[in-house]
Amino acid sequence: MENLINTSFDKLCKVYNKYFTLGYLNSSMSDKLACIALTCYITNEVRKKGKSVTCYDILLNVGKHFHEREKQTFLKSLAVVCEDLMYGCNNFPDFGIPPKEMPKQLQKLLDNYCPF
């Protein structure tokens, strides 16, 4: 924790942007938030059924079309953000999307991925 206190804001931003940015989702803020919320919602619903699953598992399943490198970088980073935001929460926004349609909508949102 001491290292964090002694780290400049600019350096923290660089670390975040390198490892956890959603900037590669070439979309609006509401779409980025929907991507996170839908991932959390789906993960939570699967966990309610007694299955041990992570946000990363869900994203790998929905984002099958991603190349291995993006699975190990972007999807993993997105999953970490989702897991963090899920912590201590029991319900998640559904953006008016029926649960059965959520994986398709999440895939559409992930299709906005543009790594440059």
83-107 pLDDT per residue, tens: 999 999 999 999 999 999 999 999 9
Decide: pTM greater than 0.75: yes
Res. 109: pLDDT tops 60:
yes
Quote the pLDDT of residue 1: 55
| Ranges of H-type helices in 51-111 | 55-62, 68-70, 76-86, 102-110
- Mean pLDDT score of the chain: 91
Report d(CA 99, CA 38) in Å as an integer: 9
pLDDT band for position 116 (cuts 50, 70, 90): low
